[in-house]
Structure 1
Amino acid sequence: MIAAIPFPDISPEIFSISIFGFEFALRWYAMAYIVGIIIGWRIVVAALKRPALWPNSTSPMPASQAEDLLTWIVIGVIAGGRLGFVVFYRPLHYLQNPLEIPMIWTGGMSFHGGFIGVVLAVYIYSRRHKIPLWHLSDALAIAVAPAILLGRLSNFINAELWGRATDVPWAVIFPGDLAQFCPEVAGACARHPSQLYEAVLEGLLLGALLLYLAFRRGLLRRPMAATGIFFAGYGAARFCVEFFRQPDFQFRTDDNPLGLALHIGGYGFTMGQLLSLPMIAIGLWLFLRSRKTT
């Protein structure tokens, strides 16, 4: 018998209703996006209302303008997240089935793709409204962690993006996972709850650190510093968790059972690690270039 924690009986749907023969459901994943974005928006507003936090004691834009920025962020997250999944993880499938690309309700979003989408949205918005790019980027950097935290918790509730097989006492047996990728185990497979690892590292700890440094230690007075810490912090956390997370099935073959996106002689990196390395490098570069302004 496997010593593991049974998966909690939580439905992926908060509620569902049927209207004129059509089924509508509110899922935890969608709620995570909605609540996470709202919390992030309120953090940005709170920072903009405190001019003393910013260089020269001047907020980069009025707090009332944050709502307009929110619209751009939502578009960037959805479009970037979906296209990132299509390009990074299943390009051949969607090349053969292009009509499925906009079907986001079927699942398939990439954090790194959503991240790129937000970067482009922020860049365009800053140019269009003549707002210093790094001030805008820093404001978002301190606000994004709640959405990551809630998103990873919803990944756990959905029993998706699970971890690798393990015998640690806190291992979880996910529903529907009957040794699919655990050939060494007969029957149910106990796995790392890697979604919770990510929720703690990428969301809770990184978010708490950024909020403390921004509101208590004057981090926002150093343009690029908050952005650099977020880039490097998320990249490092994701890179480490990938050692416990089951690699994406798209890359698994007979000679590559671990599903490494880049491998030589059985060693290499997962796609998540490959996408995280540039984030770490860029984040460190930004933080080292940041300068304190009074």
Structure 2
Amino acid sequence: MSERSNKILKAVALVAAATMATALPAHATPTASGPLTDVRIATHFDLSAGQLPENIALLRDGTAIVTFAAARQVAEVAPGGAMRILATLPAPADGGVHTPVLGFPLTTGVVHAPDGTVFVLYATGTADLTGLWRLIPGKAPQRIAALPADGLPNGLALDRHARQLYITDSVLGTVWTVPTTGGTPTAWSTAPELASTGFLGANGAKAHGGALWVTNLDKGTLLRIPIRLGNRAGAPQVKASGMTGIDDFAFTGRGNEVLATLNAPNELVRIQSDGTTSTVLDTDDGLQNPTSVALRGKDVYVLSAAYTTATDPNLLRARLHGRR
């Protein structure tokens, strides 16, 4: 194993310890007949190469665009499991030792625009690289918006109609907004509900139903922030709570119902519109610190980064029962 891989794994171990220290038991209850069927591990990733899958975006044909947190990479995973590296982001001159919380450069949120453009977030602890990057086929990765080096850009959401991107910062407790064309980010919301309690705050993000929905990992909450006229942020509303360790989430297509990953508890939970939760997947299904979930029709994709298990980072696939 290379020296770089050893450093990454040591850093991951430290993050794992911090995650476990802040995580509380989820308030989800097991369900006797869950909504997911045909559950299987579709792809295994290489832990020693830093292939810790952090976020996912899906294409129409079922191809998954995945960020590898510790490898500085964005990859494409075909429905059959074949993988291709789309881009490797440039390494910071200092190796990323000043990246907040983690101490190594981190690729995080990713979205795919209708024109084929891929947007990805990158945190390095350096002013020259931290920010929003754009990947266009056949061209080198380009940073199109700089973000604070002392922050940790994490969740990324696209409002296709307004052509706006929303970025959560887990360290600074901020949601930034920037046009899809790039430019200077605007601090869209700095509401106290976004702040951390010592580890990571605002995390996953999705634009849905005239609002930006955001999770807070430390506080275990799912928030709804209305998008007002002029792209102004309304007051956050807590839609679900009691889920410390909540990371990313995806809407199922049934109103405001979502599936959400709980990182340290190793669970995927269903959060119904009234805020009640139930566990639908856990370690028995192969989850190892799930970081992200996405849906394409009835197909469900769940990424596990193996931050604390350090065994098998993977991509799990399942089907959402009752969907056509």
Considering fraction of residues, name the structure with more helix.
1
TM-based fold match above 0.5: no
Structure index of larger Rg? 1
Considering fraction of residues, name the structure with more strand.
2
Q: TM-score category by the smaller chain?
A: under 0.3
